[in-house]
Structure formats: structure tokens, C-alpha cells
């Protein structure tokens, strides 16, 4: 007999046989009044042992809350997405099935965790999904994607080869971090003018971003020989009041949303075998349309990217916009930003060899270097505080977007830029 049951019996003896008061019983046993009242109510003189035992907190009758029919439905939905070509770009997970049932007004909508258990039991998934671990817990000054088109991410995937052809092709991918709306296009080279054409075409229907987040590839940033002379893509962004935001070099996961989507394309679009470029481009458009129209977002009450964008106030290009075709777009207004990791020396590098002193005490912390092109200055910001303001006068020779320069065109690491304000 455990001690708990002994005390319950002792309490019944003291009350019913020895006639102690409730207050005295609680004092002697060091128990609360609600505890004593509960066991006095449960006590049955004809069945002492059972009446003083703990009662199960579970339901008295075990039954499934969901019909066999809905279980069979969700299993069939998952299997069809694995086998049928029309579901090539559909989400397969339990959350996606749950949201689809909800959107269709199905009489029974089991929660995602229940659907996932059914998938495991049916052998359709091997194990539970693992939560992703943060690769770098340090604070990084990237704007929060709290609205449609607040932050769009751009990436170029490739080279990609078609069957029987040595030609290189690339997937240009633009994705909104908030709505997950995407634009996809197949390019036959990675030249800046083709990327600019893709961006402008995408912005005509997706709407313009506040920030365009991207890596430091030369076709995005511009010339290494003239690091302060931005390439055509940045100049078009500046012309349209879109702020280019360059990730820290060598950290592709900072474009996490578009990098995840690239993995999705690897497993779906790029699994298809194409014999010619036309078929590849047509299928990329099918993929784009399907993702935007059918991928339901749990974080937004099951809305698709297109449905979410339809509710937002978006900023679009002028209808007659053609300035991206100009050979000489100025870079005399607007902002471009660089997220950089401070080196042990306390310095950061923006373009090739374009170095600025921050603070050795901030070594291995991230800062934001925001270039104000109207004033020709760059402000170094840490935790929303401007630490330094440096001169950012344009290069003597204003290189144009097609000039890529050389990775070896650097300046002495010990040469600091002229500090004009603190």
C-alpha cells in the first residue's frame, strides 16, 4: 500500500470513527481542506479500497474522433500527390492536406498532427519532421518581412543542362518572403541585362519590393575593379526606389526563403527531363503558376500567395516604364545596403578591397553599411545606432553594369577611408 492511500484511509478513520474535526485532520496530516473534502465525497464504506484509489483522467470510452472515411480520404490525397503528374508541384505534408480540406469545406477536418500520425502509420513518411536549427544565432540586421513585398529575395540557380546538350541554362528565382509569391524564368546566360529584364517583367505583376535581398555575385553587384560603381541591376532598383540589400559573403542561408524554394525546385521541376529550351521554359511557368495559386500558407490562415497578395496595397512600375533599357542610368539617389561581419581587425569590406574601419570590439558581430547615394556617404549601423559615417564618393571611372573587373583588383588593407563624421 502506498503512502498516499494510507493517508486517505487514515483520514477516513479519523473522521468517521474517531470523530476528529476536519480542521484537526488537516492539521495532523498536513493536508488541505479541498483534499479532505474530495476523499470524503468519494469514500464508499462498502468498497473502501476502490473508492480511495486514483481515478483515470482519460475518457471512459476510447473512440476515434474521426471517421474511417476521412482517414481514407487523406491517405488517398497523399498517395495521389506522390503518383499523379498534375500534383507535381503540390505540397505533400500533413499541414497542406489539412489546409486543403479546410478550404474545400470538407465536413471533417482533422488537425495536421492527426493527419501526420495517419501518414506515419500508413508508411507514407519515415519519421517526424525535425525542426531546423539556427546556423548562426547572432543578430543580423535584415529587415523584417512583415508585409507583402516588404522583402523580396533574388537568386540565380545553375548551371542546368538539358538532355544531350552542353549548353548552360539558369533559373532566375524571385520570391517574396512574406507571401511566398514567386517568379521563375529560365535564362540562357547569367548576364546582368537578362536578369534585369526578368526583374522588370516580374515586378510588373508582382509589384515592387521595398528591399531586394541578394548575394554578392558580380552580375548583381557590379564591378570588382570599380566597387563603388554599381551594376545595371542595382541602378534599375535605385531608379524604382527599391533598396538592394547584399547578404554577408559566403552565407547563402541568409536568403533562406529562396534557398528553400531552390531545394523544392530541385526535387520537382528539375526532376523533369526536357529535350529543348521551349519545353523547359513552359514547365517553369506551370510551376510558378501552381505554387502561387495552390500553395496554402498555415501562417496566413490557409491563404495562397496570390490570395494574400490580392489583399495587399502594392506598388507597381509605371505602365510605360522602359528606363531599364537605357545604357546610362545614374546612381545619384536612393540607398543600397550591405550586411557585413566585422573581422578581427575591426574592419568590413563592401566591394572588392573597399574597406572601412568599424570597431575591433565588435569583431565577429554583424553590422549594416547603408550607402546614401544622394549624399555620397555610407553609414555603419549597429543595433540601430549609427557608429560611423564615411565618404562614399563614386569611383573615378564610372564602370557600367557589364564591366565585371577582376577579383584581384583590391587596395591595401591598411588604407582607411576618410572619416567625415562620427
Residue 321 has pLDDT above 70, yes or no: yes
Confidence of residue 147 (pLDDT cuts 50, 70, 90): very high
Q: Could you read off the pLDDT of 253-267 as tens digits, one per residue?
A: 787 788 888 888 888
Contacts of 214 (CB under 8 A, 6+ apart): 153, 154, 155, 220, 244, 245, 246, 247, 255
* pLDDT given for residue 361 in this prediction: 94
* pLDDT given for residue 413 in this prediction: 35
Q: Residue 165 CB: number of other CB atoms within 10 A?
A: 12
The mean pLDDT of 268-287, rounded to a whole number, is 89
Residue 112 has pLDDT above 80, yes or no: yes
Burial 250-274 (b: 16+ CB within 10 A, else e): ebeebbebbbebbebbeebbbeeeb
The mean pLDDT of 59-73, rounded to a whole number, is 72
**Integer Rg of the chain from CA:** 32
Confirm whether pTM is higher than 0.85. Answer: no
Angle at 19 (CA atoms; ends 14, 25), nearest 5 degrees: 45
**Between these two residues, 370 and 63, which has the higher pLDDT value?**
370
Residue 404 has pLDDT above 50, yes or no: no
* pLDDT given for residue 291 in this prediction: 92
Q: What percent of the chain has pLDDT over 90?
A: 43
What CA dihedral angle connects 135, 138, 139 and 145, to 10 degrees? Answer: 0
Strands (DSSP E) found in 294-376: 335-341, 347-349, 355-357, 366-372
Q: Residue 26 CB: number of other CB atoms within 10 A?
A: 18
Q: Could you read off the pLDDT of 240-252 as tens digits, one per residue?
A: 999 999 999 988 8
Residue 213 has pLDDT above 50, yes or no: yes
**Between these two residues, 158 and 1, which has the higher pLDDT value?**
158
Highest mean pLDDT among 140-144, 254-258, 338-342: 338-342
* pLDDT given for residue 61 in this prediction: 47
* pLDDT given for residue 422 in this prediction: 31
**Between these two residues, 354 and 85, which has the higher pLDDT value?**
354
Burial 170-195 (b: 16+ CB within 10 A, else e): bbbbbbbbbbbbbbbbbbeebbbbbb
Confidence of residue 311 (pLDDT cuts 50, 70, 90): very high
The mean pLDDT of 298-321, rounded to a whole number, is 92
Amino acid at each position: 500500500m502506498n503512502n498516499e492511500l494510507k493517508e486517505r484511509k487514515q483520514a477516513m478513520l479519523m473522521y468517521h470513527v474517531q470523530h476528529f474535526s476536519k480542521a484537526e485532520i488537516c492539521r495532523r496530516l498536513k493536508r488541505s481542506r479541498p483534499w479532505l473534502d474530495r476523499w470524503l465525497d468519494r469514500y464508499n464504506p462498502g468498497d473502501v479500497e476502490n473508492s480511495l484509489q486514483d481515478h483515470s483522467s482519460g475518457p471512459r470510452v476510447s473512440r476515434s474522433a474521426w471517421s474511417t472515411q476521412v482517414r481514407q480520404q487523406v491517405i488517398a490525397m497523399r498517395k495521389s500527390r506522390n503518383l499523379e503528374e498534375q500534383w507535381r508541384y503540390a505540397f505533400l505534408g500533413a499541414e497542406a492536406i489539412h489546409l486543403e480540406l479546410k478550404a474545400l469545406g470538407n465536413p471533417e477536418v482533422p488537425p495536421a498532427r492527426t493527419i501526420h500520425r495517419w501518414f506515419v502509420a500508413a508508411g507514407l513518411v519515415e519519421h517526424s519532421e525535425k525542426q531546423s536549427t539556427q546556423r548562426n544565432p547572432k543578430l543580423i540586421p535584415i529587415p523584417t518581412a512583415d508585409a507583402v513585398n516588404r522583402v523580396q529575395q533574388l537568386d540565380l540557380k545553375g548551371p542546368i543542362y538539358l538532355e544531350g546538350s552542353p549548353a548552360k541554362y539558369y533559373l532566375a528565382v524571385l520570391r517574396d518572403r512574406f507571401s511566398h509569391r514567386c517568379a521563375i524564368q529560365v535564362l540562357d546566360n547569367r548576364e546582368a541585362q537578362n536578369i534585369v529584364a526578368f526583374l522588370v517583367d516580374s515586378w510588373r505583376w508582382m509589384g515592387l519590393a521595398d528591399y531586394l535581398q541578394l548575394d554578392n555575385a558580380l552580375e548583381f553587384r557590379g564591378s570588382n575593379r570599380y566597387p563603388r560603381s554599381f551594376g545595371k541591376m542595382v541602378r534599375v532598383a535605385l531608379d524604382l526606389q527599391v533598396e538592394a540589400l547584399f547578404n554577408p559573403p559566403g552565407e547563402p542561408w541568409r536568403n533562406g526563403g529562396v534557398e528553400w524554394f531552390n531545394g523544392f525546385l530541385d526535387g520537382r521541376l528539375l526532376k523533369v527531363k526536357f529535350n529543348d529550351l521551349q519545353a523547359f521554359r513552359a514547365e517553369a511557368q506551370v510551376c510558378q503558376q501552381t505554387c502561387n495559386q495552390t500553395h496554402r500558407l498555415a501562417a496566413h490562415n490557409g491563404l495562397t500567395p496570390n490570395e494574400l497578395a490580392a489583399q495587399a496595397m502594392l506598388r507597381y512600375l509605371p505602365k510605360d516604364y522602359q528606363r531599364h533599357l537605357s545604357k546610362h542610368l545614374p546612381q545619384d539617389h536612393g540607398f543600397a545596403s550591405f550586411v557585413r561581419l566585422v573581422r578581427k581587425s575591426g574592419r568590413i569590406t563592401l566591394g572588392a578591397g573597399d574597406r572601412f574601419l568599424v570597431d575591433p570590439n565588435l569583431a565577429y558581430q554583424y553590422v549594416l553599411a547603408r550607402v546614401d547615394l544622394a549624399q555620397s556617404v555610407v553609414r555603419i549601423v549597429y543595433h540601430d545606432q549609427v557608429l560611423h559615417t564615411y565618404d562614399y564618393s563614386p569611383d573615378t571611372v564610372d564602370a557600367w553594369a557589364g564591366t565585371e573587373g577582376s577579383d584581384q583588383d583590391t587596395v591595401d588593407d591598411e588604407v582607411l577611408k576618410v572619416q567625415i563624421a562620427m
